[in-house]
């Protein structure tokens, strides 16, 4: 196999994108350090839907757990009106999504964290990049916890509020509230819920996904949302929004929500950095560069896809610069194509 044009790399941020990037680079034979600012390496809560492309990416990362196979949406998705009328089963444009999977974020994060450690990535928690300086051959990094080091490539996968973006791009745009909110909660699986179901109701779209024999996850997208919601208001406001769906199963869902449901609301922020996504040998990945609205329900999938493609380009390139150019060329369109599915 051709040797990749780099010996070592630093990844900043151990979310879905950062872990996937670290695994991919390490499997290429690159020595990878991964710094994560959270000393507890705690994943976000709530459900995450992984599309077919990301499932393929996970297989490329060597992750194909039996648990993952078990939760695939093999039974398809029902699309219903707010009053419950069946509009379509596996409607056109969603057919590929029946190969997706919904899982709880901590479970997905655990799969990736185990694969990261198994790949030999050097993980440092509670650490970040304090400053960086680069020349044509590499990046000098000062860390918050130790002295510095030099890398052939630095990948900033530190989320929508990326510090790496600020360090490497002068005057980079700041994320801004998008006007959309995503509500989510866990609840006992209604006995009648045979398959994932979506109810469409104007500026609201409710999805209920079975995630286990006895558990389901609710995702409610709200357009024209007012902004962040105080924690004490989440449950009553969520019930209020669900009341706008006359469908009987939604009434039952609203009645099943209580203090154990872990109901939460995220006011979504948007950031889109124009091309290129690299500045010299610093590359941004995941939400740091294309988070998250417009494609709010696919950001995790896109971040993992970024990783696989980056590794492919590095494997075949004669220089880091050439790989980053090719990566940009191939990744720009998939990440900016208009959304055609309702997730």
Ligand X SMILES: Cc1cc2nc3c(=O)[nH]c(=O)nc-3n(C[C@H](O)[C@H](O)[C@H](O)COP(=O)(O)OP(=O)(O)OC[C@H]3O[C@@H](n4cnc5c(N)ncnc54)[C@H](O)[C@@H]3O)c2cc1C
- Rule CB under 6 A: which residues touch ligand X? 12-18, 35-38, 46, 48-49, 128, 157-159, 163, 182, 184, 266, 268, 286-287, 291-292, 296-301, 303
The least distance separating ligand X from the CB of residue 127, rounded to whole angstroms, comes to: 7
DSSP, collapsed to helix, strand or coil, labels residue 188 as: strand
Cβ atoms of residues 185 and 262 within 8 Å: yes
The least distance separating ligand X from the CB of residue 246, rounded to whole angstroms, comes to: 25
Q: Which of 176, 223, 193, 196 is nearest to 71 (CA)?
A: 196
Cα–Cα distance, 133 to 40 (Å, whole number) = 28
Looking at the Cβ atoms of 18 and 201, the one nearer to ligand X is 18
Looking at the Cβ atoms of 244 and 266, the one nearer to ligand X is 266
Q: Which of 270, 271, 177, 187 is nearest to 229 (CA)?
A: 177
Looking at the Cβ atoms of 128 and 279, the one nearer to ligand X is 128
Report how far apart the first and last C-alpha atoms of the chain are (Å, whole number): 39
The least distance separating ligand X from the CB of residue 1, rounded to whole angstroms, comes to: 28
Looking at the Cβ atoms of 5 and 162, the one nearer to ligand X is 162
CA distances from 140 to 71, 132, 136, 147, 153 (A): 43, 6, 11, 11, 10
The least distance separating ligand X from the CB of residue 3, rounded to whole angstroms, comes to: 28
Q: What is the DSSP string of 215-255?
A: EEEEEEEEET--S---HHHHHHHHHHHHTT---HHHHHHHH
Residue whose tokens read 């290129």: 276
The least distance separating ligand X from the CB of residue 21, rounded to whole angstroms, comes to: 9
CA distances from 79 to 15, 82, 94, 317 (A): 31, 10, 10, 44
Cβ atoms of residues 193 and 216 within 8 Å: yes
Looking at the Cβ atoms of 163 and 251, the one nearer to ligand X is 163
The least distance separating ligand X from the CB of residue 307, rounded to whole angstroms, comes to: 10
The least distance separating ligand X from the CB of residue 309, rounded to whole angstroms, comes to: 15
**Closest residue (Cβ) to ligand X?**
299
The least distance separating ligand X from the CB of residue 254, rounded to whole angstroms, comes to: 19
Looking at the Cβ atoms of 184 and 189, the one nearer to ligand X is 184
Looking at the Cβ atoms of 138 and 303, the one nearer to ligand X is 303
Looking at the Cβ atoms of 12 and 324, the one nearer to ligand X is 12
Query: Tokens at residue 191, please?
Result: 């006995």
115: DSSP letter? H
Looking at the Cβ atoms of 5 and 305, the one nearer to ligand X is 305
Q: Packing angle between helix 320-336 and helix 299-316, nearest 10 degrees?
A: 150
Backbone angles phi, psi at 45, to 5 degrees: -90, 180
The least distance separating ligand X from the CB of residue 204, rounded to whole angstroms, comes to: 15
Cβ atoms of residues 11 and 282 within 8 Å: no
Cα–Cα distance, 196 to 193 (Å, whole number) = 7
């Amino acid at each position: 196999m051709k040797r990749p044009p780099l010996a070592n790399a630093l990844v900043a941020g151990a979310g879905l994108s950062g872990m996937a990037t670290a695994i991919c680079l390490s499997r290429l034979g690159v020595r990878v350090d991964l710094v994560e600012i959270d000393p507890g390496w705690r994943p976000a809560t709530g459900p995450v839907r992984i599309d077919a492309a990301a499932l393929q990416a996970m297989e490329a990362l060597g992750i194909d757990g039996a648990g993952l196979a078990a939760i695939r949406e093999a039974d398809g998705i029902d699309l219903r009106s707010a009053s419950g009328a069946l509009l379509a089963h596996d409607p056109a444009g969603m057919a590929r999504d029946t190969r997706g999977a919904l899982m709880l974020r901590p479970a997905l994060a655990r799969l990736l964290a185990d694969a990261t450690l198994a790949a030999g990535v050097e993980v440092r928690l509670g650490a970040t990049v304090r400053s960086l300086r680069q020349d044509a051959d590499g990046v000098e990094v000062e860390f918050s916890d130790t002295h510095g080091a030099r890398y052939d490539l630095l990948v900033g996968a530190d989320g929508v509020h990326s510090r790496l973006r600020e360090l490497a791009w002068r005057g980079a745009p700041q994320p801004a509230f998008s006007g959309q909110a995503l509500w989510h909660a866990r609840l006992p699986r209604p006995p009648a819920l045979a398959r994932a179901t979506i109810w469409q109701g104007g500026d609201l779209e409710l999805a209920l996904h079975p995630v286990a024999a006895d558990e389901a996850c609710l995702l409610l997208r709200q357009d024209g949302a007012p902004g962040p919601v105080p924690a004490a208001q989440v449950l009553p406001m969520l019930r209020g929004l669900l009341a706008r769906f006359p469908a009987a199963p939604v009434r039952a869902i609203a009645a099943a929500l209580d203090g154990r449901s872990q109901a939460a609301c995220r006011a979504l922020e948007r950031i889109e950095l124009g091309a290129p996504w690299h500045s010299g040998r610093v590359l941004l990945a995941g939400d740091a560069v294309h988070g998250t609205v417009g494609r709010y329900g696919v950001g995790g999938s896109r971040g993992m896809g970024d990783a696989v493609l980056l590794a492919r380009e590095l494997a075949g390139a004669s220089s880091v610069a050439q790989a980053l150019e090719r990566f940009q060329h191939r990744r720009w369109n998939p990440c900016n194509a208009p959304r055609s599915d309702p997730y």
